[in-house]
A and B are shown apart, each in its own frame.
Chain A
Amino acid sequence: MNLVLVDDIIARYRWEKAAIIAILQDIQREFNYLPQEALTYAASRLAIPLTQVYSLATFYRAFSLKPRGKHLITVCLGTACHVRGAVRILEKLERELGIKAGETTDDMRVSLETVNCLGACALGPIVVIDGQYHGQMTSVKTDSILKKLRKL
Chain B
Amino acid sequence: MSKIKSTEDFEKLQESVNKTRDPERLCITVCSGTGCHAYGCEKVTQAFVEEIRNRDLQDKVDIRTTGCHGFCERGPIVVIHPQEVFYQRVKVEDVADVVSETILKKNIVDRLLYVDPNTGKQIICEKDVPFYKKQRRIIFGNNALIDPTSIDDYIALGGYAALSKVLWEMKPLEVIDVIKKSGLRGRGGGGFPTGRKWEFCRNAEGDRRYVICNADEGDPGAYMDRSLLEGNPHSVLEGMIIGAYAIGSHQGFIYVRNEYPLAVKNVTIAIQQAREYGLLDRDIIGSGFDFEIKITRGGGAFVCGESTALMASLEGKLGEPRAKYVHTVEKGLWDNPTNLNNVETWANVPVIINKGWQWYSDIGTEHSKGTKIFSLVGKINNTGLIEVPMGISLREIIFDIGGGIPEGKKFKAVQTGGPSGGCIPESLLDLLVDFEKLTETGSMMGSGGMIVMDEDTCMVDVAKYFLNFLKEESCGKCVPCREGIRAMLEILTRITEGEGEEGDVELLQELSEVVAETSLCALGGTAPNPVLTTIKYFRDEYEAHIKEKRCPAGVCPALIQYSIDTERCTGCGACVKVCPQEAISGQRKQPHSLDQAKCIKCGACLEVCKFEAVIKR
Contact = CB atoms under 8 A, between A and B. Distances in A.
Instruction: Say what secondary structure dominates the interface of chain A.
Output: helix
Nearest to A133: B38
Nearest to B262: A119
Interface stretch (B187-195, B377-385, B478-486): B377-385
Contact of A61 (B299, B379, B383): B299
Given A117-B221, A122-B384, A139 B449 contact: no
Contacts of B465: 79, 82
B604 interface: yes
B449 A79 contact: yes
A18 B251 CA distance: 15
A36 interface: no
B157 interface: no
B588 to A, nearest CB: 20
Interface string A17-28: 111111001000
A152 B219 CA distance: 35
Contact of A133 (B37, B220, B314, B315): B37
Interface stretch (A2-10, A65-73, A88-96): A88-96
B451 A135 contact: no
Interface in A10-69: 17-22, 25, 55-56, 59-63
Given A18-B316, A62-B300, A118-B34, A138 B378 contact: no
Contacts of B415: 79
B221 A120 contact: no
Contacts, number: 141
Interface in B247-287: 258-259
Interface string A109-131: 00000011111111110100000
Interface in B28-54: 33-35, 37-39
Contacts of A146: none
A143 B580 CA distance: 11
A80 interface: yes
A83 interface: yes
A63 B318 CA distance: 13
B545 interface: no
A62 B451 contact: no
Given A22-B296, A84-B378, A140-B607, A119 B315 contact: no
B397 to A, nearest CB: 15
Given A80-B451, A140-B578, A59 B299 contact: yes
Nearest to B604: A139
B421 to A, nearest CB: 10
B375 interface: yes
A41 to B, nearest CB: 17
A119 B377 CA distance: 10
B316 A80 contact: no
B377 A122 contact: yes
Interface centre among A55, A56, A82 (most CB of B within 10 A): A82
Given A59-B301, A80-B451, A140-B608, A116 B469 contact: yes
Interface range on chain B: under 10, 10 to 19, 20 to 34, or 35 or more?
Answer: 35 or more
A80 B378 contact: yes
Interface centre among A60, A80, A84, A95 (most CB of B within 10 A): A80
B418 to A, nearest CB: 8
Contacts of A135: 38-39
Contacts of B378: 79-80, 83-84, 121
Interface stretch (B222-230, B238-246, B501-509, B516-524): B222-230
A138 B580 CA distance: 14
A32 B385 CA distance: 34
Contacts of B608: 139-140
B457 interface: yes
A123 B221 contact: no
Nearest to A63: B299
B72 interface: yes
A98 B460 CA distance: 29
Nearest to A76: B220
Contacts of A138: 607
Contact of A123 (B35, B315, B475): B35
B442 interface: no
Contacts of B301: 59-61
Nearest to B224: A119
A83 B418 CA distance: 14
A95 B580 contact: yes
B220 A25 contact: no
Interface string B303-329: 000000000011111110000000000
Given A25-B299, A121-B383, A135-B38, A83 B220 contact: no
B316 A79 contact: no
B318 A120 contact: no
B38 A139 contact: no
B604 A118 contact: no
Contact of B377 (A21, A62, A80, A140): A80
B405 to A, nearest CB: 12
B92 interface: no
B75 interface: yes
Given A22-B297, A77-B220, 13 more contacts: A18-B314, A18-B315, A21-B297, A56-B299, A62-B300, A115-B259, A116-B220, A118-B38, A119-B35, A121-B377, A123-B35, A124-B377, A139-B607
Top 9 nearest A-B pairs (CB, nearest first) are: A60-B299, A119-B223, A79-B221, A61-B300, A116-B220, A80-B377, A122-B383, A62-B300, A121-B377
15 contacts: A18-B314, A62-B299, A79-B418, A82-B462, A85-B603, A95-B580, A115-B259, A117-B220, A118-B34, A119-B33, A121-B35, A121-B221, A122-B75, A122-B384, A139-B604
